[in-house]
Amino acid sequence: MTVRGVGGTRAGGGADGSGAGERDGAEGTLVTPSAEFPPLAPEELAALRRIGDQWRAARRDRAPGTDALPVDPSLRRAGGQPEPSRFGRLAPIAMFRVGEPDELVATEPANLPGSRFGRTVTRLRRALLGPPLSSSAVLYERMRKLVALPVLSSDLLSSVAYGPEAMLAVLLLAGSGALELSLPLAAALAVLMVAVGVSYRQTVVAYPHGAGSYVVAGDNFGPRAGLAAAAGLMVDYVLTVAVSVAAGVHAVTSALPGLAGWTVPLGVLTIALLLAGNLRGVRTAGNLFVLPTYAFVVALLALLAVGYARAAGGGFAPVPPPPVPAVEGLGLLLVLRAFSSGAVSMTGIEAVSNAVPVFRPPEWRNARITLGWMVAMLVLLFTGLTGLVHLTGVVPTPEATLLSQLARVTFPTGPWYGLVQAATALILLLAANTAFNGFPRLLFFMARADHAPRRFLHMGDRLAFSDGLVALAVAAAAVLVAFRGHTESLIPLYAVGVFLAFTLSQAGMVVHWRRRRGPGWLRRATVNAVGAVLSGLVLVTAAATKFTEGAWVVVLAVPLLVLLGTAIHRHYALLHRSLALHPPPAGPAPAPPVVPAPPPAAGPAPPEGEELPQQVRHLVVVPVARLNRASLRALAYAASLGQPTLAVHIAPEEPEADRFREQWRIWGDHVRLETIVSPYRAVIGPLAHYLEALHAGRADLVLTVIVPEVVVRSRWHRPLHSRTEQRLRSALRPLPAVVVTSVPVHLSE
């Protein structure tokens, strides 16, 4: 089976019931580690071919054997291959095996690093995360539907543990009589859930490569709309982790009040455990989180069955709730606030559309089936719990969660209350796993489009997007600590970001169907339009009514993230323009002149374009502080290059400069020496300015600065040395056409 990175040639696929013409590339594309290295564009390949032709022309007259290597690069020599030594601290490669011609393949890192600290860290890392996986294992790091359902629905299904409570808490502000509105609001929310769920089922088919709202909004409304949807999703994912963990810890402390003072440390520890579990890889993490989700679903279904059976015995007569005085008037605004608060139960409904590539083939079909199951269970659990709350007469209280009270009323005796609470706490703590699946993949697609740092394209040892996972864990832990683990303080931030993504995604799908106009497009566009209108209503209501409660943070964060993504894209566009291959002028390249050319006239320096060997003019500069073995080795290395060489000495005063020139004459004055007197004892500044002046005098020169570097064995010895080469490298980095090379001299013990 051939594996291609995202953006490569598509293969396979199949039509759904509505016809293949209605699906926009419904073939799944597997994300592989090769996606970090995109191929060259056709115009760059043409430029590369022309540059290669000129290289060939320039090297045509070279003597035979000039390019012969003094070593065998294939490592086929008697005695085998050497075991790694000090370099094992970075990547402990045991051996190489021969692959294709002119190719070596590094085997599994079996050796431990040389230092005691390195061995300890490596053993601990392997114990927590497992051994590294080969790139080819990405084929098997995908999930079947029965595993993907609990992994991707843990956030969506767990939100019914606090979504109904958030809705009722707002209604309770108008007194216990306002709780009668919970049933019609639950029905309206069920309609919204179905509309958005059906819309995302269509998104999965139309955009099977993942990143749902970000790709849909960007494809139909432009990059800024895509970034806005991505920003909303990023905020949603971070808050998913923070809210889920906070709610889970609250469920634990409801059953064990003695742990109430440890809310924040327990939450941070949970996030760390979730991070470690997900760093083990998609398949391993999925297996870890299957049972808790199914246990929660079974526990709630048992709760609903027993609760409604008892209610049926009483003729479904609702128990009056305890009297609660009104603190606000019952009006449209409060009803809309309650509606938007209950809508947080829908967070996570987009998870499947963001993670289509994690399914086994056919990805889009399995993802759509899984999403259908998720929405059906969500509607059943949300409406069932809301109805049971209405029948039992329980109301939100600060002492215990609504679900805890409901379980206590339904199971007054026996172990069932404890089992429901344990399943609820476990699913809430692990619900954040949905975000750990979606957030890194969203960053991957953003990085692929140059809207996020490219380090998020990289897959770690276990074929997980490790950098994205760590970024999510750090951000969520910071939010949890900042809000002291209070679920009530976090929920107002929740709905704005996720429903911004919902609204843009559904509106984008309307535009998508209108453009395609395939069979049944009007029906599909209507479904998406209903989802967009309802999602937009929740978005506006949540942003307006909860602005002062904390939603302003999200309202401010989204445009800032959009500006950040735009700035990152602008930087990468500049990088691409600077590094893209441009074809040189046609025809043979001119031979280098024998006599140095005169300095160019004053004016702007020409752009860097030394893509051919004959275009490079060298000047080697060796800073020499004192004549010792390190400096003589640097001078010998410079002279061996066969290029014009200049030595530079920085002296604090004239007598020392005279002394050094005398030592230079004793050595033999083999290299031209320029002495700079620095009466204020600065070294890096005068040297950097001198090199800049040399470059300004001949902008076509490439200055190669060769610096001797003393390499110490122990890191504790580093502060004993000035590290001049690093400081000089930092000072010269802004200068174009300046190369800094270190010649290491290792201390012997």
Predicted pLDDT of residue 452: 92
pLDDT, tens only, 333-360 = 888 888 888 887 887 788 788 778 778 7
- Give, in degrees to the nearest 5, the angle at Cα 621 between 618 and 622: 145
pLDDT, tens only, 171-202 = 888 888 888 888 999 999 998 888 888 888 88
Sign of the CA dihedral with 543 first, then 549, 552, and 557 last? negative
Predicted pLDDT of residue 741: 86
**Percent with pLDDT over 70 in the chain:** 75
Tell me the C-alpha distance between 737 and 749, whole Å: 38
- Which of 630, 655, 646, 625 is closest to 705 using CA atoms? 646
Q: Tell me: pLDDT of 32 over 90.
A: no
Q: Tell me: pLDDT of 542 over 60.
A: yes
Average pLDDT over residues 479-491: 74
**Strand ranges in 633-680 using DSSP code E only, listed in sequence order:** 645-651, 672-677
Residue type, 52: G
Helical pair 402-410 and 363-392, crossing angle rounded to 10 deg: 70
Least confident of 50-54, 241-245, 294-298, 534-538: 50-54
Q: Tell me: pLDDT of 2 over 80.
A: no
Q: Are 128 and 347 in contact (CB under 8 A)?
A: no
Q: Tell me: pLDDT of 319 over 70.
A: yes
* Beta strand 672-677 pairing with 645-651: parallel
Give pairs for 575-580: CB < 8 Å, separation 24+.
576/450, 580/44
Q: Are 285 and 436 in contact (CB under 8 A)?
A: yes
Q: Which residue has the tokens 């009722």?
A: 168
Residues pairing with 701 in the sheet: 617
Q: Which residue has the tokens 């969500």?
A: 378
Predicted pLDDT of residue 93: 43
Q: Are 431 and 159 in contact (CB under 8 A)?
A: yes
Take residue 452 and report the two structure tokens written for it: 């996020």
Tell me the C-alpha distance between 461 and 108, whole Å: 11
* Beta strand 738-746 pairing with 701-711: parallel
Secondary structure element (H or E) that encloses residue 743, with its range: strand 738-746
Q: pLDDT band at 471, cuts 50/70/90?
A: very high
Least confident of 63-77, 132-146, 154-168, 707-721: 63-77
Secondary structure element (H or E) that encloses residue 218, with its range: helix 212-221
Q: Which residue has the tokens 């982790």?
A: 241
Secondary structure element (H or E) that encloses residue 621, with its range: strand 617-623
Distance of CA 570 to the CA centre of its chain: 19
- Give, in degrees to the nearest 5, the angle at Cα 744 between 740 and 746: 160
Least confident of 74-83, 647-656, 661-670: 74-83
Q: Of the CATH numbers 3.40.50.2000, 3.40.50.1950, 3.40.50.620, 2.70.150.10, which one belongs to the domain with range 613-746?
A: 3.40.50.620
Q: pLDDT band at 590, cuts 50/70/90?
A: very low
Take residue 635 and report the two structure tokens written for it: 């001078």
Three-state SS string over 677-718 comes to ECCCCCCHHHHHHHHHHHHHHCCCEEEEEEEEEEECCCHHHH
Tell me the C-alpha distance between 749 and 735, whole Å: 38
Residue type, 246: A
Average pLDDT over residues 401-428: 84
Predicted pLDDT of residue 131: 66
Q: pLDDT band at 23, cuts 50/70/90?
A: very low
Q: Are 195 and 520 in contact (CB under 8 A)?
A: no
Predicted pLDDT of residue 601: 38
Q: Are 474 and 482 in contact (CB under 8 A)?
A: no
What topology is assigned to 135-572 in CATH?
Amino acid/polyamine transporter I (1.20.1740)
Q: pLDDT band at 273, cuts 50/70/90?
A: confident
Domain boundaries, the chain: 135-572, 613-746
pLDDT, tens only, 684-739 = 888 888 888 887 778 778 888 998 887 776 666 666 666 667 777 788 777 777 88
Q: pLDDT band at 227, cuts 50/70/90?
A: very high
Helix (H, G, I), strand (E, B) or coil at 261: helix
Q: Tell me: pLDDT of 599 over 60.
A: no
Q: Tell me: pLDDT of 500 over 60.
A: yes
Tell me the C-alpha distance between 57 and 50, whole Å: 11
Q: Are 248 and 425 in contact (CB under 8 A)?
A: yes
Q: Tell me: pLDDT of 417 over 50.
A: yes
Q: Tell me: pLDDT of 383 over 80.
A: yes
pLDDT, tens only, 208-218 = 776 678 888 88
Could you tell me the CA-to-CA distances from 120 to 92, 130, 131, 390, 458 in Å, in that order?
Answer: 14, 14, 15, 57, 25
Predicted pLDDT of residue 354: 75
Q: Are 199 and 505 in contact (CB under 8 A)?
A: yes
- Which of 739, 703, 696, 693 is closest to 605 using CA atoms? 696
Q: Tell me: pLDDT of 402 over 60.
A: yes
Predicted pLDDT of residue 732: 79
Helix (H, G, I), strand (E, B) or coil at 744: strand
Tell me the C-alpha distance between 395 and 189, whole Å: 20
Helical pair 212-221 and 223-255, crossing angle rounded to 10 deg: 160
pLDDT, tens only, 48-102 = 777 777 777 776 776 676 666 566 555 554 444 455 444 444 444 444 555 555 5
Least confident of 226-235, 512-521, 553-562, 612-621: 612-621
Tell me the C-alpha distance between 746 and 743, whole Å: 10
pLDDT, tens only, 559-583 = 999 999 999 999 988 888 877 776 6
Q: pLDDT band at 305, cuts 50/70/90?
A: very high
Read off φ and ψ for residue 105, nearest 5 degrees: -120, 120
Residue type, 423: A
Tell me the C-alpha distance between 246 and 467, whole Å: 24
Q: pLDDT band at 472, cuts 50/70/90?
A: very high
**Percent with pLDDT over 90 in the chain:** 9
